[in-house]
Amino acid sequence: MKNQLKSYVVIALLSSGVTLGAYQLLNLGNQSSFSDSPSAFTSNVSNVVAAGSPGEFTYAAEKTTPAVVHIKTKMEQRQRQFSSPFDDLFGGFGDPFGGGGGRRQAPQQAEASGSGVIISADGYIVTNNHVVAEATEISVMLNDKREFKAKVISTDPSSDLAVIQIKANDLPFLTFGDSDALKVGEWVLAVGNPFNLESTVTAGIVSAKGRQNIIDRDDDKAANPLESFIQTDAAVNPGNSGGALVNLKGELIGINTAIYSRTGQFAGYSFAVPVSIVKKVSADLIKYGNVQRGFLGVSIMEVNSKLADEKDLKVTTGVYVGGFSENSAAKTAGIKINDVITKIDGIETKTSAKLMEIVGRKRPGETLNVTVNRDGQNKEFTVTLKNKDGNTAILKGETGESYKSEFLGAKFGALSSSDKEKFNVNAGVKVTEVLPDGRLEMYGLSKGSIITKINDKAVNNPKEAAELLEARKGRTKLEGIDVDGSRFIYVL
């Protein structure tokens, strides 16, 4: 996996060997693409009294383990077999006169594993993006030993979350708890499958909330990372990624994502994405195919004594507004530079992480009540959030349009928003299947690669790619990005 954690923090890897109020999931069963099946979005057990006092974990463990699954993935790794003499000259892009370097790399199958949490009776499962992002095949083993093939509904690299689905009914599922109400020092359980061990339960306490800058996003491939982690001392190890963090009522309060370690194994601290983010992201991925992010459109920094003195601020805590983006929602609402945001929807915003977490629960077109301190006076503004394009429209994910090319020996489809973020491209098509003995297999191009140009013309969707391939004469030039991030040019 490519995500790495800062200061020796290592993601709780699947391998066992400013997106910126309170998001209310009212009637979400009608808003999402869930069927009438019971789900975490339509069920609530907050009024259930947990059996036992603090330190008594059996109730939560018995309730949680049936809804936590073991995820096994297969992915392609590539090893260089032989290269063209032109490789060094052209930076590994292959022979521009028709070779492409021959069989530059041969796909090798690798296997890995992680965990996931069932959130609906009809088979929706939330896990980490890094568990399934590179997978060519995903299988899910339930607590009762049944095994199913799974498909990826959609992924969100920014929050490191993904939703997959299996074809099953009447499954046990977890209900969403309230991560806002979670207190430092509160007992929690981590449930997952570390080291391929099934249904492992560990206990700890909440060590901190709102942790930021945990994951080092290489090459800015996860744009606008949304981080406000719950830190616990519950033991989490490789294979726990995507597993459940629950309270003593057995409610889901987070998805275990990362650990702090110098060795790759648990060393005292683990980090989970709070359920306040999980339920928003998973609902959007299911309904829209991508995450609907509302933007305040502000440049922010946390207030401290030095900044307060420098800017002559009248408060010493909050989030300082240092500037605005184009078409800023905050600026439109009347917020000014040098304002200090102290509350959003009545919730204190003492840190940037908290502000981003709260706003991250909202969609474009939804409103927030923002309280700012301006020259010692508190003022309130109603802000209507905008999307990344500066309006309030819902941005749907790509459709499932696909195309099979006998010439290429492959199938390709539209790019998702997460593909565009990951590969830092605005357009192109994704190779969804490489057929045996086809041209792309011969050249070593893998499933998941991106084709950006055909015969020097940019491709925006599968239909355009199909038309360009049908109109080809003579040799065909492909340009794009391989699954490992390297760029290629092949002449077929």
Say how far apart CA 292 and CA 283 lie, in whole Å.
Answer: 10
| Confidence tier at 126 by pLDDT (50, 70, 90) | very high
What span, in angstroms and rounded, lies between the C-alpha atoms of 137 and 149? 8
pLDDT for position 256: 95
- Pairwise pLDDT comparison (210 vs 398), residue with the higher score: 210
For residue 278, the one-letter residue type is V
pLDDT band at 366 (very low <50, low <70, confident <90, very high): very high
Q: How confident is the model at residue 216 (pLDDT cuts 50, 70, 90)?
A: low
pLDDT at 238 (0 to 100): 83
Q: Provide the residue type at 429 as one letter.
A: V
436 band by pLDDT with thresholds 50, 70 and 90:
confident
Question: b/e per residue, 290-301, with b = 16+ CB within 10 A?
Answer: bbbbbbbbbebe
The Cα 88–Cα 83 span in angstroms is 9
Radius of gyration for the alpha carbons in the chain, expressed in angstroms and rounded: 24
Mean pLDDT over 169-182 rounds to 93
CATH of the structural domain 402-491, one choice from 3.30.450.20, 3.30.70.20, 3.60.20.10, 2.30.42.10: 2.30.42.10
The dihedral through the CA atoms of 388, 389, 390, 391 has a sign that is negative
**Candidates 160, 284, 345, 419; catalytic one:** 160
Tell me the mean pLDDT in the region 57-77: 90
Looking up tokens 């096994």 gives 72
- Strand-pairing partners, residue 381, are 370
- Domain map of the chain by residue range? 4-74+110-288, 298-384, 402-491
Between 417 and 34, name the one with better pLDDT.
417
Catalytic residue among 70, 130, 419, 449: 130
Q: What is the pLDDT of residue 434?
A: 83
Q: How many CA atoms lie within 13 A of 64 on its CB side?
A: 36
Task: Tell me what pLDDT residue 247 has.
Answer: 95
Sequence-distant contacts of 37-40: CB under 8 A, at least 24 apart: 37/120, 37/121, 37/122, 37/169, 38/120, 38/121, 38/173, 39/119, 39/120, 39/121, 39/122, 39/124, 39/173, 40/119, 40/120, 40/173, 40/174, 40/175, 40/176, 40/252, 40/279
The answer to whether 298-384 and 402-491 have equal CATH topology is yes
The rounded percent of the chain whose pLDDT value lies above 90 is 44
Hey, CA dihedral for 124, 130, 134, 137, is it positive or negative? negative
What span, in angstroms and rounded, lies between the C-alpha atoms of 152 and 14?
A: 16
Is residue 470 within 8 A of residue 449, CB to CB? The reply is no
The answer to whether 71 and 113 are in contact (CB under 8 A) is yes
Q: How far is CA 231 from the centre of its chain?
A: 18
What is the second-level CATH architecture of the domain 4-74+110-288? Answer: Beta Barrel (2.40)
Helix/strand/coil (H/E/C) assignment for every residue in 317-377: CCEEEEEECCCCHHHHHCCCCCCEEEEECCEECCCHHHHHHHHCCCCCCCEEEEEEEECCE
When mean pLDDT is compared across 14-23, 123-132, 313-322, the lowest value belongs to: 14-23
Q: Which of the following is catalytic: 241, 282, 446, 449?
A: 241
| Listed range (10-19, 167-176, 189-198) with the worst mean pLDDT | 10-19
Q: Is the pLDDT of residue 11 over 80?
A: no
Residue-level pLDDT at 255: 96
Catalytic residue list contains 7: no
Q: Cα torsion at 166, 167, 170, 171 (round to 10°)?
A: -20
- Residue 220 gets the label, from left (phi > 0), alpha (psi -120 to 50) or beta, of left
- Chain-wide mean pLDDT for the chain? 80
Q: Does 48 score more than 50 pLDDT?
A: no
- From 487, 400, 482, select the one nearest 152 (Cα to Cα): 400
Rounded distance, CA 336 to CA 381, Å? 11
**Does the active-site annotation cover 179?**
no
Q: Does the annotation count 130 as an active-site position?
A: yes
How sure is the predictor about 199, in pLDDT bands with cuts at 50, 70 and 90? confident
- Tell me yes or no: is domain 298-384 CATH 3.20.20.80: no
- Band the pLDDT of 439: cuts 50, 70, 90: confident
Q: 190 forms bridges with which residues in the sheet?
A: 202, 245
Of the listed ranges 416-420, 424-428, 429-433, 456-460, the least confidently predicted one is 416-420
